[in-house]
Amino acid sequence: MAQKSFKYIILGGGVSAGYAAKEFANQGVKPGELAVISKEAVAPYERPALSKGYLFPEGAARLPGFHCCVGSGGEKLLPESYKQKGIELILSTEIVKADLGAKSLVSAAGDVFKYETLIIATGSTVLRLTDFGVKGADSKNILYLREIDDADKVVEAIKAKKGGKAVVVGGGYIGLELSAALRINNFDVTMVFPEPWCMPRLFTADIAAFYETYYTNKGVKIIKGTVASGFTAHPNGEVNEVQLKDGRSLEADIVIVGVGAKPLTTLFKGQVEEDKGGIKTDAFFKTSVPDVYAVGDVATFPLKMYGDMRRVEHVDHSRKSAEQAVKAIKAAEGGGAVEEYDYLPFFYSRSFDLSWQFYGDNVGDSVLFGDSNPSNPKPRFGAYWVQDGKVVGAFMEGGSGDENKALAKVAKARPVAASLEDLTKQGISFAAKI
């Protein structure tokens, strides 16, 4: 059992870890001061690629093509780049015990890692149907997607079951992105989700109607208002049928499940203050424990614009929170300080030929603008959310670079809207004037 000591440890090897490492390198670390510990076997990469380019039938994205930090147009940190920058990359190493009082982490192999400052960047893990006791949910080819190993299993199943039948359980981000990816791979795809429309976390009924019709036109079948209640398998253990709670059943060669994620906070239970399911931080991502920071999906942080505590499970925040934490750590060492984190929520998704962006908060009344006819070859429409007479959220499908910048500006400025009718009439030109 080895024991190693570092000035800084980043625990996790995902998006936040990659961006935190980049920021440490920018700020300057001495060789041997910083370690990144990840249970994954590869250096930090841009996770969003896994549900998009990684699954393309041709010209698929593969590492090292999408290591951090190419997603934001930054330098690509290849495994050897860490070494060159004096950063120790400790891969295939799961931490199974954390003692924040003793400032030590213990790996599954029994190795001990001591730190002076810790950045928790453990991200989220998928919710599994087996957790809910769904019968047969442990059959082969019932797949989830979080890490690159999961994506490799999806790729393998796509190859093995070429042109077969796929059932996608869940109507959120994974549901929509994976249904498209499987359809592009020529699978006969059926999506099943419990709500009355897809992506209810963000979409209004109007926005969802566009995507559901677009997907249906692409050949994806959509079953709403029910859930998968059981699975049966071939004698070789591979799934062959999905039973639905409404009594129907669907043949399946592959099942992809995307029923949500939960932040990985288990290692720190009882040791650090939590809020809204995540690790509570201040505007510098400092937790309730001295010298311990939490960034990315696991952090519940003050969202200054809205005056409340939020957890955000999206890549833009994972990058920016990591950079903020490292800047704060380094500034404090020099006796200085950085500005409070003042985040404007930003989410996006891409599937088929579609691409949308959202900025701000999806609360209050909403209005649609533009051309949301799914049969048009280049749909281009948007939505605003209005609360207390002010525009607080902005969404656009098919927006140009400038239009997306306008969405960000309007969501940040929160201007007064004359009326919902006026916003519909003005459309993107309302945001462009801000």
Long-range pairs, 101-109, Cβ under 8 A, ≥24: 101/271, 103/291, 105/9, 105/11, 105/37, 107/37, 109/1
Residue 123 binds which entry of ligand NAD, ligand FDA, none, CB below 5-8 Å type-dependent: ligand FDA
75-134 binders of ligand NAD (CB under 6 A): 124
* One-letter amino acid for residue 87 of the chain: I
When binding is defined by CB under 6 A, the residue of 159, 201, 234, 276 that contacts ligand NAD is 201
Please say which residue, 124 or 287, places its beta carbon nearer to ligand NAD. 124
Please say which residue, 220 or 261, places its beta carbon nearer to ligand NAD. 261
Angle at 17 between CA 273 and CA 3, to 5 degrees: 80
When binding is defined by CB under 6 A, the residue of 24, 66, 115, 193 that contacts ligand NAD is 193
Please say which residue, 121 or 428, places its beta carbon nearer to ligand FDA. 121
Please report how close the Cβ of residue 83 comes to ligand FDA at its closest, in angstroms: 19
Number of residues forming the site for ligand NAD (CB under 6 A): 26
C-alpha–C-alpha distance, residues 176 and 125, integer Å = 19
Stretch that binds ligand NAD, among 70-78, 164-172, 328-336, 409-417 (CB under 6 A): 164-172
Q: Alpha-carbon torsion 302, 303, 307, 311, what sign?
A: negative
Instruction: Report the interface residues with ligand FDA, using CB under 6 A.
Output: 12-17, 37-40, 47-48, 50-51, 94-95, 121-124, 145-147, 264, 267, 296-297, 313-316, 318, 347-349
Contact between 258 and ligand NAD (CB under 6 A)? yes
* SS3 state of residue 214: helix
Please say which residue, 167 or 267, places its beta carbon nearer to ligand FDA. 267
Please report how close the Cβ of residue 263 comes to ligand NAD at its closest, in angstroms: 9
Query: Phi first, then psi: what are they for 352, rounded to 5°?
Result: 45, -130
When binding is defined by CB under 6 A, the residue of 13, 18, 136, 170 that contacts ligand NAD is 170
Strands 104-107 and 95-99: antiparallel
When binding is defined by CB under 6 A, the residue of 169, 208, 303, 368 that contacts ligand NAD is 169
Contact between 366 and ligand NAD (CB under 6 A)? no
Sheet with 274-275, strands from edge to edge, namely: 274-275, 278-280, 299-303, 308-311
Strands 390-397 and 354-360: antiparallel
Residues 6+ apart with CB under 8 A from 323: 19, 20, 22, 23
Contact between 300 and ligand NAD (CB under 6 A)? no
Contact call for residues 295 and 321 (beta carbons, < 8 A): yes
C-alpha–C-alpha distance, residues 399 and 406, integer Å = 10
Stretch that binds ligand NAD, among 82-90, 253-261, 280-288, 377-385 (CB under 6 A): 253-261
Contact between 347 and ligand NAD (CB under 6 A)? yes
Q: What is the CA radius of gyration of the chain?
A: 22
Contact between 172 and ligand NAD (CB under 6 A)? yes
Please say which residue, 343 or 347, places its beta carbon nearer to ligand NAD. 347
Angle at 125 between CA 17 and CA 88, to 5 degrees: 25
Please say which residue, 108 or 418, places its beta carbon nearer to ligand FDA. 108
Q: Alpha-carbon torsion 60, 63, 67, 73, what sign?
A: negative
Residue 193 binds which entry of ligand FDA, ligand NAD, none, CB below 5-8 Å type-dependent: ligand NAD
When binding is defined by CB under 6 A, the residue of 40, 46, 177, 361 that contacts ligand NAD is 177
Please report how close the Cβ of residue 391 comes to ligand FDA at its closest, in angstroms: 22
Which tokens in the block code for residue 152? Answer: 């490799």
Contact call for residues 165 and 251 (beta carbons, < 8 A): yes
Please say which residue, 93 or 351, places its beta carbon nearer to ligand NAD. 351
Contact call for residues 23 and 48 (beta carbons, < 8 A): no
Please report how close the Cβ of residue 342 comes to ligand NAD at its closest, in angstroms: 21
Contact between 313 and ligand NAD (CB under 6 A)? yes
Residues that bind ligand NAD (CB under 6 A): 51, 124, 169-175, 177, 192-195, 200-201, 227-228, 258-261, 313-314, 347, 349
